A and B are shown apart, each in its own frame.
Chain A
């Protein structure tokens, strides 16, 4: 397939089909509706499964059932809808099942708004569900990167038997870009799904999909086992990009839509003779802490920029371990900053640091 011009949400749906999705369960919510709309037509046409559930709660539990039965399964939603899914997400993580969840963020809290936002960083990386669990969270900045990550996410979820959350915002969901669906993804060995409930006629013994361990000794062991897996994910699946890091005076940390805006700001600042680098986390969990060790000496400060009131800021501070002055610039509520605002934010930060 040659390059095509496509809307972000539709590209997510096409990428899911390319990634081999067997079943989609979801509930309408703006600004992600093109994903279920596209899949409702194309999954059913391919003889696969699409169900518009009665709620986000039901949808994620359908995902749980289908994942337990061995299918490649996904759901998509937006901020308040992802909030409703947290119960099921915790169970899926606890029962160690694979699935892909797409979150197209909008402004909050509460019903908030429907314009782009990054205010669900905590929701994605800290989780709203109960217990010590982690999602693998990817936050692409272009539609092309979203496609590549979507395709790979099904393999990653299967490999680790863990949910993968693809976190974009309404801007990436709603805009159009030229994309190529045939870019190859990393080949992974996917182990057979010998845990799946397919009927005892189809496998030895009984398969039980479960997250209940009433014996505290067993539950602690289960948690330790999960932690081992999370460590393996940290070692293997951390992704980030370093931009203009040869000899920067300042470093921006930004992801998704915000990192695109910062790229333009960095170019403008370069013209003014101010060299600014950028750490762009692609995986938000695991967070690319090691990237902060690669910051060259001489950097005077780090500016964390988000379309939130400062959520990733926590991870920036944790990762930098107090080595630099840290500033923050954020817009919220669906307000998407212009590159000039980032330019000004760097200049203001510079004044503050120099003082």
Chain B
């Protein structure tokens, strides 16, 4: 019998620790498939961050380092500078990247570090139990914004792709979602492009993935996907924010 579909070699056989309906698993699959299809598994060194994806070092089937909270891009810088021919990527959530680690991330981008950042934006702190994130929407209820995020007291959702599009060192930057098969295909293409640019030593690449957190949002997985489309996409519009262009060889 012909095998039509099988799990990517880019992921280990370890059972994922994510909650049912969370889109981390989908994004892991896309990254794993990308590493496999581009023949990068043996050269890849991933950096796991702090948050729900803390255990991603057990899931990606390549060498991995586990970073302190927010420091993934600094750690990736250290790795890439001493191993410039390896493929180095980070996998970070919005608390890790956009709050505690924004300095490390923005400066890695500004130095044009030749690394790929997979940025999961689900508008909430998942691992710690649903606190407000810098990406939390105005009015969104979390355990630390129980009446909804108040713009006067806590500011507005931070738009990482818009901010990073201003940085010279960025070679590729796209915001995607994984709410339906069409978006999934687009997301895969974006991730693949980012890793390809890295292989071509083009500079810093970041893919922001709008993601769900059904448990902390208090929704069913299906409603959570709908909420991304109806509530998150208007605030975080999808699309390519920066593309240094195909390489003219």
Contacts and interface: CB of A to CB of B under 8 A. Distances in A.
Interface of A: 22-23, 25, 49, 51, 53-55, 57-59, 61-71, 73, 87-88, 91, 95, 197-202, 206-212
A68 B81 CA distance: 12
B57 A208 contact: yes
A73 B77 CA distance: 13
Nearest to B78: A65
24 contacts: A25-B78, A49-B81, A54-B104, A57-B71, A58-B74, A58-B107, A61-B67, A61-B78, A64-B68, A65-B78, A68-B75, A68-B79, A69-B83, A70-B82, A88-B71, A95-B66, A199-B62, A199-B83, A200-B61, A200-B63, A201-B42, A201-B43, A206-B61, A211-B66
B54 A206 contact: no
A202 B103 CA distance: 32
Q: What are the 5 closest A-B residue pairs judged by CB atoms, nearest first?
A: A65-B78, A201-B42, A62-B78, A65-B75, A66-B78
B77 A68 contact: no
Contact of B64 (A22, A57, A58, A206): A206
A51 B77 contact: yes
A22 B78 CA distance: 11
A73 B74 CA distance: 14
Contacts of B67: 61, 64-65
Contacts, number: 133
A199 B44 contact: yes
Given A66-B78, A69-B78, A198 B64 contact: no
A196 to B, nearest CB: 8
Nearest to B80: A65
A23 B81 CA distance: 8
Given A51-B111, A198-B83, 13 more contacts: A53-B74, A54-B103, A58-B74, A65-B76, A67-B78, A69-B78, A69-B82, A198-B86, A199-B43, A199-B87, A201-B42, A201-B43, A210-B57
Nearest to A55: B103
Nearest to B47: A65
Given A54-B107, A65-B74, A88-B68, A23 B45 contact: no
Given A199-B42, A201-B42, A49 B82 contact: yes
A200 B77 contact: no
B83 A200 contact: no
Contact of A51 (B47, B81, B87): B81
B41 interface: yes
Contacts of A67: 78
B215 to A, nearest CB: 19
Max chain A Cβ within 10 angstroms of own Cβ: one of B45, B61, B79: B79
B82 A23 contact: yes
